[in-house]
Amino acid sequence: MPNSKIHFSLSERKLYLRFLDMFFPIFSFYLISLLTDYQYFNFNNPQIFTWSISLSIYLLFFGEIFEMYNLKVASDIYLTLRSTILTVVFATLFYVFTPYYSPLLPQNRLQILYFFGVLLVAILCHRFIYIKFIFSPRFLKNILVIAEEEEIEKILACKQHQEINTIKCYVSNERIENDTLNFINVNDANIAFLVKEYAINEIVVASNNSKLITKSINNQLIAIFEKGLNIKSVDSFIEDETFRVSENKLTHNFYNYFTFSKSHQNNLYMAFHRILDIVIAIIGILTLVILVPVVLLGNLLGNRGKLIYTQLRVGKRGKVFKIIKFRSMVSNAEKDGAVWAQKNDMRVTKFGRLLRKSRIDEIPQFINVLKGEMSLIGPRPERPEFVKQLENEIPYYAMRHVIKPGLTGWAQVMHPYASTFQDQQDKLMYDLYYIKERNLLMDFKIIVKTISTVLFFRGN
């Protein structure tokens, strides 16, 4: 113990995919250079190292945009094929048009087609190997849960990365209704035997001071931990699986678990964040100027009303400001009072739906970003009337106002629709996760996921 069963964690699988996305194409070009006189990606050229690095960067960047490292996509043949083709097309286009970091364009343009073909086949080969073997049940993580019914049900509801986890059995005081898992009564639990019997890789234990964790169970866990098996709380498990804060952590002593990311006190990070906001906002406003004639024409034909509207929203520290948007709904859409936008909302015009799907309706908000009322990344600002309701219904909702609201955010890319209080509570957990974990890498992930949302028309 720990048992000999090999498994790959979520991060290990993503690392595996990224590494082989770089290795397989470059190794394939090396083999081709040995067997043929292919000249475009020639390994005898002294710049081959620079060429390989730039190619790897393009593949990884567009791989992130087209969801190559989303494990649900990576485990599906059709989605893998779609994402790989898009990634290779864009990586090839950008690569051949940046000759300072890539080979000069060959006189025989067919070599570019060969380049594209080798990239596509090389990546697809290792992706199909991943689906066939690495994704197979023999490499899944086996989990033992020791918790009461309510917490076990929360774990079972974590389906985001279900494909890399298998809950083999659970120890509790009573059986869960309609479950197909192996139930062991807490009074009869021999944890060492269960770990060996079910080849357990990880134990998830109740987060609260549960009566379930008796002295006997605790002593068994200490003995198991001493032998190197990973043990974590239900809250930590939920956070690792869903990338959101567990609701159990938001209690009267939330400060024991929930602290600001150190980035909030990092002046260099905050300065960089503001400079990035200003630069992107200026680019966004220039884009807005270019798009206004097109949107104006579409508005005249499809919306027939004001092009731009403003609306009160709640910003940092509860300060109210006016958000600017292209109008996407019919005139007098809220004549009967404020109502949350729904998926497939009948008040949204056909042209307005296009604006929302492409996120073009939000481009005027770059003016809010430039003014400092919003940031590029942060929780989406809500309307004052909704905020009052939500603060009454959802404890700790006001905590999201500790930072500037954003044009996009972690909750936006992870849980795009919010038409009920439960949806708002779910989005709050994502917002708080961002506030807790905020850093440059996470900001980059959000930007990339937002680009994916726009390209795949997943806007509200």
Per the document, the length of the chain is 460
CA-wise closest residue to 434 among 458, 460, 412: 412
pLDDT score of 290? 92
CA-wise closest residue to 144 among 193, 221, 201, 190: 201
pLDDT score of 4? 47
| pLDDT tens-digit series, residues 39-80 | 888 888 889 999 999 999 999 999 999 989 988 788 888 889
CB atoms within 10 A of CB 9: 16
Residues of the chain with pLDDT under 50: 1-2, 4, 161
3-state helix, strand, coil in the chain (%, to 5): 55, 10, 35
pLDDT score of 305? 77
- Asked if residue 202 lies in contact with residue 229, where contact means CB atoms within 8 angstroms, the answer is yes
pLDDT score of 201? 85
pLDDT score of 207? 74
Spacing of C-alpha 293 from chain mean position: 34
- Asked if residue 315 lies in contact with residue 307, where contact means CB atoms within 8 angstroms, the answer is no
- Asked if residue 100 lies in contact with residue 143, where contact means CB atoms within 8 angstroms, the answer is no
How far lies 209's CA from each of 41, 85, 97, 219, 248, in Å? Answer: 61, 51, 60, 15, 12
CATH of 140-242, one of 3.40.50.700, 3.40.50.720, 3.40.50.1460, 3.20.20.70: 3.40.50.720
Residues in contact with 106: Cβ distance below 8 Å, sequence separation at least 6, in sequence order: 39, 40, 112
Sequence spans of domains, the chain? 10-134, 140-242, 262-455
How much is the pTM?
0.79
- Asked if residue 419 lies in contact with residue 342, where contact means CB atoms within 8 angstroms, the answer is yes
SS3 string of 87-142? HHHHHHHHHHCCCCCCCCCCCCCHHHHHHHHHHHHHHHHHHHHHHHHHCCHHHCEE
344: exposed, middle or buried (Cβ count in 10 Å: 0-12, 13-18, 19+): exposed
CA-wise closest residue to 285 among 341, 228, 368, 212: 368
φ, ψ for residue 5 (rounded to 5)?
-65, 125
213 vs 232: CA distance, rounded Å = 14
358 vs 414: CA distance, rounded Å = 17
| pLDDT tens-digit series, residues 281-290 | 999 999 999 9
Which string of DSSP letters, residue by residue, matches 382-427?
A: --HHHHHHHHHHSTTGGGGGGS--EEE-HHHHH-----SHHHHHHH
